[in-house]
Structure 1
């Protein structure tokens, strides 16, 4: 019996192609669902033709999927095998705290997690559906929960890929956003008034690890823009009270 054939050696171009394909996957993760081929090409400084070829390959192998509605790409079925599974939601004790707050206010109450380095809705209010999760993750500058995350960054520009305007109230000037994020970092409170959808606003407070103080989650209430713009000291006190109760449960 003849010995098994030796595998063909990698050509000089193959390692680069593998690295580029992995870079495309990383860019889809970083940018979030809906990132376009043009955005990927610009971010990675790859020729458009190369980017399209890699995207077609990754879609064909089911590491990526096309999103017709978003006209972009998202992680596919096989990409899930590259990550360690995580818990699908907060512990029961944390959900109970969030539910108690919902019973005490007439606003929508949402809990977000930052464990992945992005805004992820961990417990969204079923009676007051929040904004699309993919939208919050991709454009954190336009939401209160996103601003909490950005205020924690050494350089928020590394997280925000585009200061996209959703309404006339959306902050699209870097200097103005910088000033607001400094205030969020100082107070642990973020506010958005009609920046994502007209007539809707949100207040959010930070939830920090009780041991090391790192940002782990955000607790938000959403309601009419004019009510969000008010000082609302009683609502803020209630929001902070429940955020403190959540801190040891989410560490």
Structure 2
């Protein structure tokens, strides 16, 4: 079906070009670039640069950094890049996952993290996730997403409360309730949820961290059961993956 351009004015293409230029500027100058730096680099009025930056944040192409002093690429950009460049998981890491899948009576999957995004990198071929794209999108409703949100000094900078979508009747959509869930994740060191993304489906995730503690990946266990925490073997597998993925 063709997209109608009814109502498209002569000024709107220029606005689109300006927004893309801002996005390219942030990518070129790197995380932490300020609105003032963007405005100066592109010779834009400061108010225009700030408006475009806020627009791109609202659409999840950019994110504000936790200290509110600059901007970085958001998860939609990572999703676009991921659609072009396939994720490559080392064969040694795939061997660890294969061993876990033989031991755990549930789906076992690998997700990879950046500071602001997650991507499902290796699905269990026998027990795949019902909707990997939803896992990447609805961070508040999945164990993998909550593990990422719990890393943020202020999760609202990454996921505005207006985007706490109700996926099922069980989904946590109130900011104070999500605050409590994320506090539990930090205390436990792992995340779990049941029935919040898909009814009757639960998942738990064990973090894979670099030597300096940075979250780089997670081993997700999913199934049509109440998954209360990652099994011990999965937590041990996540530690084994640290040396292969960090």
> TM over 0.5: same fold?
yes
Q: Which residue of 194, 214, 239 maps to 1:244?
A: 239
Instruction: Please give the TM-score of this superposition, normalised by the length of structure 1.
Output: 0.65
Matches within 5 A, 1:28-67: 44=55
Matches within 5 A, 1:131-170: 131-161=130-160, 162-170=163-171
Partner of 1:89: 88
Distance 1:15 1:197, change over 3 A: closer
Partner of 1:119: 118
CA distance in 2, matches of 1:133, 1:86: 17
Contact residue 194 and residue 203 of structure 2 kept, 8 A: yes
CA distance in 2, matches of 1:116, 1:182: 19
Q: Secondary structure at the match of 1:197?
A: coil
CA apart distance, 1:132 = 2.5
CA apart distance, 1:236 = 2.3
CA distance in 2, matches of 1:201, 1:14: 45
CA distance in 1, matches of 2:233, 2:157: 33
Aligned Cα root-mean-square deviation (Å):
3.3
Q: Give the total of aligned pairs.
A: 188
Partner of 2:201: 200
Deviations 1:172-217 (A, max 9, x none): 010010111011122221011000101100011111002x110000
Instruction: Please give the TM-score of this superposition, normalised by the length of structure 2.
Output: 0.67
CA apart distance, 1:115 = 3.0
CA apart distance, 1:88 = 2.3
- Larger Cα-atom Rg: 1
CA distance in 1, matches of 2:133, 2:145: 12
CA apart distance, 1:15 = 8.3
CA distance in 2, matches of 1:99, 1:145: 20
CA distance in 2, matches of 1:159, 1:98: 29
Q: Could you list the runs of 5+ residues in structure 2 that have no partner in the other structure? A: 1-11, 26-51, 60-75
Contact residue 120 and residue 136 of structure 2 kept, 8 A: no
